[in-house]
Amino acid sequence: MILITGGCGYVGSHAVARLLELNQDIVVLDNLSNSSKSVIKQINKISDKKFKFIHGDLNDRTLLISLFKDNKIDTVLHFAGVKSVSESIKFPTKYYLNNVAGTINLLKVMEQNHVFKLIFSSSATVYDPENQIPWKEEFSTDKLKHPYADSKIMIENILKSICNINKKWKIGMLRYFNPIGAHSSGLIGEFNINKNTNLMPNINKTFLGRQNSLYVYGNDFQTKDGTGVRDYIHIEDLISGHLRARDFIQNKNGIFIWNLGAGKGYSVLEIIEKCSTIYGKKINYKIVDRRPGDLGEYWADIRKSEKELNWKPKRNLDRMISDTYKFIIKSKNNLF
Ligand code: NAD
Ligand code: UD1
């Protein structure tokens, strides 16, 4: 059985849907701090297969102990975490308690139950900014950044350390670049658009009239059109990367790092333009000052993931945006 932490969130819900489609036995743990139980209903519409949902927190050790006792867990896909850079700057200890301590709790209970297979959601935000583009897995991650990134670096280091000591662990750390898009059914996607302040939720807020205009954070970067360039990857390609990573670690002890991106960059203006075309409505925007901490451009070197995982992102930008549109239209009343 696979334990999916954070399975009601944006990325986790797509993993749940895909694993159910593959007839896998799963149990989901989520504290619903950044999601809603209604996501489960939506997943149930995609697949008639029911799954166990446990409403609870990673930091509840007693709950984790009984979860592992009651279910024969073999592998953990660990998505649960808080992820807002700006919030992490306001409340740093929240990020260490939730992400770092929560993960340590999970590892402790996994160890006690002799469960050693783990796929962890890391982020491109761990890379030191001065690294040459495209970013490769072996590049440095030494610098302190903001508590969100630092929490991910700390977890990566803890995972490296436990693997170094106990050779039974089989761990895949996946460094996501910018996941966007939605499930092809339009039934699940990024529901939490009010609180999330990334580019796509903000474009969608503007499209739906929840804000008058999108703020574009700077047009004076050294990039093709002056706006920030990022590596956007379709959420379903991101999930297929997880499944390949899960297969890879089955018979290989140790720790492995893979980038999950598309391997190319698009600018903010290119994304706005594509959304305006596909949504059939102009997305109003205003150029404002740079957002503190933003880099001009970066994208992933995905050769290691392609080679070792025999994986390739298949869905292009048009597909990322058209699936988002389908989701926004179909799930308008479920967005929060
Ligand atoms: P999300 O907020 O949509 O999902 C995370 C889920 O975890 C939520 O449902 C939340 O309620 C749950 N959760 C948080 N803390 C928990 C805890 N202590 N116990 C139990 N449940 C808890 O975020 P997401 O976009 O799906 O991201 C999933 C993971 O991927 C996170 O670890 C995030 O840091 C990482 N990541 C995301 C992105 C991105 O752009 N979405 C990029 C890089 C890395
Ligand atoms: C951000 C986080 C990163 C995190 C990732 C996924 C920062 C500095 N980085 O990455 O740590 O791993 O989200 O959660 O917050 N943009 C606008 N207007 C907007 C929103 C974004 O112009 O309203 C621009 C940004 O300046 C950037 C691009 O769009 O150039 C993408 O931004 P975003 O979606 O927030 O992702 P990242 O900044 O790449």
What is the DSSP annotation of 218-253?
A: -S-SSSSSSS-EE-EEEHHHHHHHHHHHHHHHTT--
CB 154, CB 107: distance < 8 Å: no
Q: Which of 154-158, 208-212, 253-257 has the lowest mean pLDDT?
A: 208-212
CB 303, CB 260: distance < 8 Å: no
Q: What average pLDDT score do residues 106-116 get? A: 98
Instruction: Break the chain into its structural domains and give their ranges.
Output: 2-180+232-263+300-314
- pLDDT reported for residue 213: 96
Ligand 2 atom having least distance to the Cα of 123: 12
Q: Is the pLDDT of residue 336 over 90?
A: no
Name the maximum alpha-carbon separation found in the chain. 56
Q: What average pLDDT score do residues 107-133 get? A: 98
The span from the CA of 42 to the CA of 269, in Å, is 32
Model confidence pLDDT, tens digit, residues 308-331: 999 999 999 999 999 999 999 998
Question: What's the gap in Å between 295 CA and the centre of ligand 2?
Answer: 9
Q: Is the pLDDT of residue 207 over 90?
A: yes
Q: Element (H or E) spanning 217, and its range? A: strand 214-217
- pLDDT reported for residue 238: 98
Question: What's the gap in Å between 50 CA and the centre of ligand 2?
Answer: 35
How many other CB atoms are found less than 10 A from the CB of residue 30? Answer: 28
Ligand 1 atom having least distance to the Cα of 148: 34
- pLDDT reported for residue 101: 98
Note the pTM of the prediction, 2 decimals: 0.98
Question: What's the gap in Å between 318 CA and the centre of ligand 2?
Answer: 20
Closest residue by Cα to residue 106 from 84, 73, 82: 73
Q: Which of 45-49, 219-223, 226-230 has the lowest mean pLDDT?
A: 45-49
Q: Is the pLDDT of residue 239 over 90?
A: yes
The span from the CA of 165 to the CA of 277, in Å, is 53
Q: Is the pLDDT of residue 334 over 90?
A: no
Which residue lies with its CA nearest to atom 34 of ligand 1?
Answer: 83
Cβ-based burial of 23 (10 A; exposed 0-12, middle 13-18, buried ≥19): exposed
Closest residue by Cα to residue 299 from 326, 329, 263, 328: 263
- Judged by DSSP in three states, 257 sits in strand
- pLDDT reported for residue 226: 98
Q: Which of 84, 176, 194, 199 to mutate to test the pocket of ligand 2 (most atoms within 8 A of CB)?
A: 199
Cβ-based burial of 333 (10 A; exposed 0-12, middle 13-18, buried ≥19): exposed
Q: Is the pLDDT of residue 332 over 90?
A: no
Residues within 6 Å of ligand 2 by CB: 83, 85, 123, 125, 148-149, 178, 198-199, 202, 214-217, 228, 230, 268, 291, 293-294
Q: Torsions phi, psi of 257, nearest 5?
A: -120, 135
User: Is residue 325 among the annotated active site residues?
Assistant: no
Ligand 2 atom having least distance to the Cα of 294: 8
The span from the CA of 135 to the CA of 79, in Å, is 22
Q: What is the mean pLDDT of the chain?
A: 97
- pLDDT reported for residue 290: 97
Q: Which of 13, 29, 34, 103 to mutate to test the pocket of ligand 1 (most atoms within 8 A of CB)?
A: 34
Question: What's the gap in Å between 203 CA and the centre of ligand 2?
Answer: 12
What share of the chain in percent tops pLDDT 70? 100
- pLDDT reported for residue 9: 97
Tokens 């984790």 correspond to what residue? Answer: 64
Q: What is the CATH number of domain 2-180+232-263+300-314?
A: 3.40.50.720
Question: What's the gap in Å between 48 CA and the centre of ligand 1?
Answer: 25
Question: What's the gap in Å between 82 CA and the centre of ligand 1?
Answer: 5
Q: Give the pair of three-digit tokens for residue 178.
A: 């910018």
Model confidence pLDDT, tens digit, residues 167-193: 999 999 999 999 999 999 999 999 998
| Confidence at 83, pLDDT banded by 50, 70, 90 | very high
CB 16, CB 39: distance < 8 Å: no
Q: Which of 10, 95, 127, 148 is catalytic?
A: 148
**Which ligand approaches the C-alpha of residue 86 most closely?**
2
The span from the CA of 49 to the CA of 60, in Å, is 28
The span from the CA of 207 to the CA of 282, in Å, is 8
Beta-sheet strands, E only, within 66-213: 75-78, 117-123, 170-176, 178-180
What share of the chain in percent tops pLDDT 90? 95
Residues within 6 Å of ligand 1 by CB: 5-6, 8-12, 29-35, 57-59, 79-83, 98, 102, 121, 123, 176, 178-179
- pLDDT reported for residue 293: 86
Q: What average pLDDT score do residues 268-287 get? A: 98
Ligand 1 atom having least distance to the Cα of 98: 18
- pLDDT reported for residue 196: 87
- pLDDT reported for residue 41: 94
Which residue lies with its CA nearest to atom 25 of ligand 1?
Answer: 10
What b-and-e string marks burial along 39-76, b requiring 16 or more CB atoms within 10 Å of the CB? Answer: bbebbeebbeeebebbebbbbbeebbeebbeebebebb
| Confidence at 194, pLDDT banded by 50, 70, 90 | confident
Question: What's the gap in Å between 291 CA and the centre of ligand 2?
Answer: 9
**Which ligand approaches the C-alpha of residue 102 most closely?**
1
